[in-house]
Structure 1
Amino acid sequence: MIIRVGTRESKLAMLQTEYVIGRMKEVCDAHFSIVKIKTAGDIESPSSLQKIGSGIFEKEIDEALLRGEVDLAVHSMKDVPTSIPEGLILAAIPQRLSPNDVFVSRDYDNVASLPKGGFVGTSSPRRAAQIRSLRGDLQIASLRGNIDTRLRRLKEGKFHGIVLAEAALIRMGAMDGRRERLPIDLVPTSPGQGALAVIIRKGDAAMLALASKINYADAMEEVIAERAFLRRLGCGCSSPVGCTAATTGSKLMISCGLYSIDGARFKLFKFEFPRGDAERYGAEAAEMALSDCAVASFWRRAL
């Protein structure tokens, strides 16, 4: 039996797919074939990506899955829209890596040590707002491209520092150099960050049985809560919002933050729920955040 796995062509996507295949090989005797698929996110110019909308790194792969050209797809969970296409399901989330962001620099150990008016590279509205919430004097400079490109531009001296997902650096083996792990309590990250999504066709019992063997229940519960939070807000990756859940014993902890575009106004929250109904509690966390008077003064203008 040969299982065809759809993924992007980028180095990080390949490493993520190889990781998933490695876990599946531990629980089955099947052979695997990686099918590389170009997506809009790979083809379009960096300046136009934000205009395209959500799903720019998944749509073509998901369409190939629906056509039966691949048997399953592997995505970065944080890139998957909150509404998965009809006919597909999220079958598994393998063990999750760090959901944290990290500040990386050639010359500075942390955000606090940056010079006044220093330049921080990111093209994420969330990260831009969060950096400004920490240091209002810092300037945000656009930074797009794959991890290698971003690190190269940092080494070239284009920025005083940049912000990246720690999980991406771990998978790329690029943890050298000066860096600061930004705490979730202060810098909640994108829903699904650090997690991988295994997507299959709805009704494919064989693929579901296989995928379920590599699913981590804790990671699935965390991600479901985070995505429910984002879905209730009615926004996506272009909005200045962070939400990171963590399962601890019998508790589901949800750390989240809502920001104005310029980061000048924001509100951080931490909610504690019992485990067992992540979808409900993620939505409840969003409701409580939206009902906060301080949030009401700026959030709608942030969207």
Structure 2
Amino acid sequence: MTDTLRIGTRGSALAVAQTQAIADRLAASARVPVELVTITTHGDTSTESLASLGGTGVFAGALREALRDGRCDLVVHSLKDLPTAPYEGLTVAAIPKRADARDALCARDGLTLDTLPEGATVGTGSPRRVAQLLARRPDLSVREVRGNVDTRLRMVAEGALDAVVLAAAGLSRLGLEDAVTEFFPIGDWPTAPGQGALALEVRSSGTPGLVTRALQAVDHATSHATATAERLVLAGLEAGCAAPVAASALVEDELFFLTATVFRPDGTESLTSSHAAHLESKSIAHLAEAAGDTSRRVVAELLAAGAAGLAPLGGTT
């Protein structure tokens, strides 16, 4: 590493905003200058659907190549966009405290999902959100949309769409909470594994001790464990990170809770499994053990109930 800590990021306003926030924390902890290195990914430049591109993992590939090639010293990912399969030579060293994991509706005229008119057009790039929208409102016309947050909100403002569904965390990081007309409660509307969390990835070897200590300082043990449990469900189901799968984990008192749902893509059917584990303590080791235990039981129950018949599972992750 040079005297400057180089942090790789996608070039979107959201990616830069969330990476800059992490960069400021690392600079203060490690007491070294930081530099943001903008990496253009295939997912940013292609107009094809995420499904045809192979899922949201297309956003992570170029960042990981830049990290492995030494063009940067660490990269910041939106965790929900990161494939669950290990990437040779790299490791996720930290997951900072998670932001709001909810989805949010941004609709014209202050409308909510229930008050949108019949046949209203709602945009999203997520198969999970498509299934959830159609499950609640089968009359809706759900359109696949691509583009950054500003582009999607502009489609609503200009009348091309009646509403879009976006991640609350992204809107908050951009200071766009005023665009939200409804937040969907996690209990009624579970979201993508890892949504709201960021992943800080480094090379598996050769990371200076100063940087390692700085990463440990920003890691949040509970967020790390709950997001890991959700992603272990995705990995256990062999579902891609764009699959119609939702998962939500939380720690309350001395219990670790995990719930996951697999949707039929048209929203007509879903399967849900929930399990809990007792925590002897909230140490990293006990949190990790609970994450593994609950995720294994949730995956086994979903598969036994026929989840593979609902959604395209068994693909690459």
- TM-score normalised by the shorter chain: which range applies? over 0.9
Per-residue CA deviations over 1:129-148 (Å, capped at 9, x if unaligned) read 01111112212112210000
1:274 to partner: Cα distance? 2.6
Per-residue CA deviations over 1:126-177 (Å, capped at 9, x if unaligned) read 0000111111221211221000000000111122211000000000100114
Matches within 5 A, 1:82-93: 82-93=84-95
**SS of 2:225 mapped into structure 1:** helix
Question: CA, structure 1 residues 249+149, in 2 after alignment: closer, same or farther (shift >3 Å)?
Answer: same
Matches within 5 A, 1:5-154: 5-44=7-46, 46-54=47-55, 55-154=57-156
Would you say 1:298 and 2:293 are equivalent positions?
Answer: no
- Structure 2 counterpart of 1:248: 252
TM-score, normalised relative to structure 1: 0.93
Please list every run of 5 or more consecutive structure 2 residues that lacks an aligned counterpart in the other structure.
280-285
Question: CA, structure 1 residues 300+83, in 2 after alignment: closer, same or farther (shift >3 Å)?
Answer: closer
1:296 to partner: Cα distance? 6.4
- Structure 2 counterpart of 1:155: 157
Percent of residue pairs bearing the same amino acid type = 35
Please list every run of 5 or more consecutive structure 1 residues that lacks an aligned counterpart in the other structure.
none
Question: CA, structure 1 residues 242+280, in 2 after alignment: closer, same or farther (shift >3 Å)?
Answer: same
Quote the Cα distance in structure 2 between the aligned partners of 1:74 and 1:300.
Answer: 28
The residue type equivalent to 1:166 in the other structure is A
1:25 to partner: Cα distance? 2.5
- Structure 2 counterpart of 1:211: 215
Question: CA, structure 1 residues 71+177, in 2 after alignment: closer, same or farther (shift >3 Å)?
Answer: closer
CA RMSD of aligned residues (A): 1.9
1:20 to partner: Cα distance? 0.5
Quote the Cα distance in structure 2 between the aligned partners of 1:111 and 1:37.
Answer: 36
The residue type equivalent to 2:221 in the other structure is A
Aligned with residue 236 of structure 2, among 232, 238, 248:
232
Q: Tell me which stretches of 4 or more aligned residues in structure 1 moved more than 4 Å.
A: 299-303
- Contact 2:101 / 2:169 at 8 angstroms: preserved in 1? yes
Per-residue CA deviations over 1:170-216 (Å, capped at 9, x if unaligned) read 00100114521111122211111101110001122523222111000
Quote the Cα distance in structure 2 between the aligned partners of 1:93 and 1:227.
Answer: 13
- Contact 2:99 / 2:196 at 8 angstroms: preserved in 1? yes
Per-residue CA deviations over 1:46-81 (Å, capped at 9, x if unaligned) read 225432214211111111111222111111111000
**SS of 2:171 mapped into structure 1:** helix
1:254 to partner: Cα distance? 1.5
The residue type equivalent to 1:131 in the other structure is L
Would you say 1:264 and 2:277 are equivalent positions?
Answer: no
Quote the Cα distance in structure 1 between the aligned partners of 2:49 and 2:167.
Answer: 22
| Matched positions, count | 301
- Contact 1:6 / 1:71 at 8 angstroms: preserved in 2? yes
Quote the Cα distance in structure 2 between the aligned partners of 1:269 and 1:48.
Answer: 29
- Structure 1 counterpart of 2:282: none
